[in-house]
Structure 1
Amino acid sequence: MRRRHLLALPGLLLPALAAPPAARPALAQTEAQPRLPTEPLTIVGREGKRHEFKVEMALEPQQQTVGLMFRRSVAPDEGMLFDWGRPIESMMWMRNTLVPLDMVFINADGTIRRIAERTVPLSLATVSSQGPVRATLELAAGTAERLNLHPGDRVLHRLFGTAP
């Protein structure tokens, strides 16, 4: 049984590596994916201050696997929102990610569960939501500190039934 799986593996990998870069699995990804469609997102801090963002929507598994890999920068008012479709334990890493990020883990009701600040570029260490979340928002490193964001702050977006 084990031998059969090993023999089948090369046949599966070769067609994937021959595909154009945009169609390759993330395992073979060597460049940033094209910008994804964007939507407005607002974070409301404890003091009621609103912070507006334009976020790329990572909805499909391939988009989520690649994320912000190979991007050279993330603008201060932009980011990427990963919609998991239902609450799950979000496990992220910084493989092939060239810039540090803040990862904001968001509950199904739109409240921030956890913030991992200034994640390390190219790290293979797992960054966990530490509980089930509906979405993960990646922002430029230092954004959470600059805007004084905290767990419990509200995220306004259609995914959470609240439009900004």
Structure 2
Amino acid sequence: MRLILRLIAPALILFGLLAHPALSETLATDSLVIETAGGAKHRFTVELAITPAQQARGLMYRERMDDDKGMLFPYDRPQPLSFWMKNTLIPLDIIYIAEGGRILNIANAKPLDLTPLYSEGPAIAALEVNGGLAARLGIRLGDMVRHPAVGTKRAP
């Protein structure tokens, strides 16, 4: 039995590493702008979580993220959305976006918390940025997200 384990252990370790979500594919990136009611424009480089597998993985296992980065979860049609923080190690603001780009609500998500956080109405996308960043930048309900995935053009 020991001999068998010694022979297959390297293969099992390699399979485990390759299957780990943090070591999987690189997501496409794009630029996104949030325009506040006060006229400020905040630019982000976002990873696009498009497929169901990418959306399920989200920002799991990440230990940090720069303040000018985020992840956009676009959907084909507006719908009620909910997110949780399973295996997510950093605090996040989850910005729910209505079709047309208006921010519906912002949920403050705590690391590893399994409590569902819901959109307050049908959302076409969700944007995850570092926790507390929306408040620090003055991003509020009703502000506009500029990105083709939410039905708006990018701001100049």
State the TM bucket, normalised to the shorter chain: 0.7 to 0.9
Matched residues in 2 for 1:45 and 1:148: separation? 7
Kindly provide the CA deviation profile for residues 68-94 of structure 1, in whole angstroms up to 9, marking residues without a partner as x: 000001110000000111101111000
| Aligned residue in 2 for 1:153 | 143
Deviation at 1:34, TM superposition (A): 4.0
- Equivalent of 2:71 in 69, 80, 83: 80
Deviates more, 1:99-108 or 1:32-41: 32-41
Matches within 5 A, 1:114-129: 114-117=105-108, 119-129=109-119
Counterpart position of 2:48: 57
Structure 1 residues 8-157: aligned runs within 5 Å? 20=15, 29=20, 31=22, 33-117=24-108, 119-157=109-147
Task: Work out whether residues 32 and 69 of structure 1, in 8 Å CA contact, stay in contact via their aligned partners in 2.
Answer: no
Listed as ranges, the gaps of 5+ residues in structure 2 are 1-11
Aligned to 1:94, the other structure's residue is in SS state coil
In structure 1, list runs of 5 or more residues that go unmatched: 1-16
Structure 1 position 50, deviation (Å): 0.3
Note the C-alpha offset of 1:58. Answer: 0.5
Task: Check the 8 A contact 1:33/1:66 in 2, yes or no.
Answer: no
Does the 8 A contact of 2:45 with 2:69 survive in 1? yes
The one-letter code matched in structure 2 to 1:152 is: G
Aligned-residue RMSD, C-alpha: 2.2
Following the alignment from structure 2 to structure 1, what is the Cα–Cα distance between the partners of residues 71 and 17?
18
| Equivalent-residue separation in structure 2 for 1:48 and 1:83 (angstroms) | 25
Spell out structure 1 runs of 4+ moving beyond 2 A: 20-24, 29-35
> Aligned pair count?
143
Q: Distance in 2 between matches of 1:36 and 1:30?
A: 12
Residue type of the alignment partner of 1:56: E
Percent identity at matched positions? 39
Q: Quick one: structure 1 residues 163 and 21, their matched pair in 2 at CA, closer, same or farther if it must change by over 3 Å?
A: farther
TM value normalised by structure 2: 0.84
Larger radius of gyration: 2
For the structure 1 residues 60 and 23, does the alpha-carbon distance in structure 2 shift closer, same or farther, using more than 3 Å as the test?
Answer: farther
Looking at structure 1, the residues matched to 121 and 16 of structure 2 have their Cα atoms a distance apart, in angstroms, of 34
- Deviation of 1:31 after TM superposition, in Å, equals 3.2
